Amino acid sequence: MTETKSMIYADNAATAPLDSDAFEAMKPYLGQEFGNASQPYAFARKPKQALAWARSAIAACIGADDDEIFFSSGGTESDNWAIKGVFCPGSAHTAITSQTEHHAVLNAFKTMELFGCPAVYLPPDSGGIIAPGALARALTGGAKLVSIMTANNEIGAIAPIKALCAVSHDAGALFHTDAVQAVGHIPIDVSDLGIDMLSASAHKFNGPKGIGFLYIRKGTPLRPLIDGGAQESGMRAGTENVASIVGMAAALQKSCNLMHQTAEKLRAMDRIFTETLRRANIDFIRNGAPNRLPGIINISIRGASGEMLLHRLDLKGISISAGAACDSKNTQISHVLKAIGAPPDYAPGTVRISFGRCNAHEDAEAVADAVIRILKR
């Protein structure tokens, strides 16, 4: 085993590095092409064309029409919009979600409860999956909206979205999915899936931070979340962040073009990482249903402390996560691990290693070796 010396970033599910081509595509709009895309004069033409190109490029990547893509400030805003835009305060309609959602969804649901909308938080199975049958049973009580994530940010479990959407529609409910971890990483075709709304965030697919989009199927009864000017067909006010929108589209195109080869590489790294731990007789369990996002490796090590591992790895220049990234100060067992019933002798020793396109194959063995050295000390 060789001592790890260089920095290894293995927290791509928290955020991924900005792709160099996406950065290049952004530059003109951070410089000379600074015009306000909403203005009618010639100086606004290029930014306006860039917005149209970006909308069309994003739509093509997920099987949508251009006018079904609405730019937002990221995954959190898109989730809040999809959930809060469906209900009027005081309406007593029920909304259904799962216990393993990101806090952007869970806390939006809590707010809707304060406004009088009853909420149902479905428990997943031990792999983190809501079965369509379980959702169908919950829907017999009636609901206006179902929100279930495409892939979980902690354990990577991929939900049976097409079937979940179908049972929601059969019961007359709208279907939203938080696909923040999935877009650009696994194939997504909104037309085939039948979903009404989908949230995405650029920094999870090597785009810039603070930009995302909400797919809204034509005819979906959704109100704006942010009131103001007429941007985004009156659905999302605020001067468009043209540079970031262009960077997001360029990053998504590249991620989708490279999707299959990236997935293959990440699955190979997953095998190397887990086999290295097994060879060293580390007692761990793998979290998340077998159908998982490539790149997310969530393991619970018996008798270990995930927090201690995170800090010791950090001292060796390796960045990983001991829980959901947006919660990195929280050393409690995460809401996801609780919901899947992670065994108490393993759960505190949970870490999430998330490799991405920019990692080298050797990073998998290097991180595993570092984990083994720390545990055996």
Interacting residue ranges for ligand PLP, rule: CB under 6 A: 74-76, 79, 102, 104, 149, 153, 178, 180-181, 201, 212, 325-326
Cβ of residue 326: shortest distance to ligand PLP, in angstroms? Answer: 5
- CB nearer to ligand PLP: give 124 or 272: 124
- CB nearer to ligand PLP: give 16 or 61: 16
> Catalytic positions, please?
326
Cβ of residue 162: shortest distance to ligand PLP, in angstroms? Answer: 19
- CB nearer to ligand PLP: give 142 or 187: 187
- CB nearer to ligand PLP: give 98 or 201: 201
Cβ of residue 368: shortest distance to ligand PLP, in angstroms? Answer: 24
- CB nearer to ligand PLP: give 155 or 216: 155
Cβ of residue 373: shortest distance to ligand PLP, in angstroms? Answer: 29
Angle between helices 103-114 and 75-84 (to 10 degrees): 30
Cβ of residue 10: shortest distance to ligand PLP, in angstroms? Answer: 16
* Three-state secondary structure string covering the chain: CCCCCCCEECECCCCCCCCHHHHHHHHHHHCCCCCCCCCCCHHHHHHHHHHHHHHHHHHHHHCCCHHHEEEECCHHHHHHHHHHCCCCCCCCCCEEEECCCCHHHHHHHHHHHHCCCCEEEECCCCCCCCCHHHHHHHHCCCCCEEECCCECCCCCEECCHHHHHHHHHHCCCEEEEECCCCCCCCCCCHHHHCCCEEEEEHHHHCCCCCCEEEEECCCCCCCCCCCCCCCHHHCCCCCCCHHHHHHHHHHHHHHHHCHHHHHHHHHHHHHHHHHHHHHCCCCEEECCCCCECCCEEEEEECCCCHHHHHHHHHHCCEECECCCHHHCCCCCCCHHHHHHCCCCCCHHHEEEEECCCCCCCHHHHHHHHHHHHHHHC
Cβ of residue 90: shortest distance to ligand PLP, in angstroms? Answer: 27
- CB nearer to ligand PLP: give 76 or 255: 76
Any idea how long the chain is?
A: 377
CB-nearest residue to ligand PLP: 75
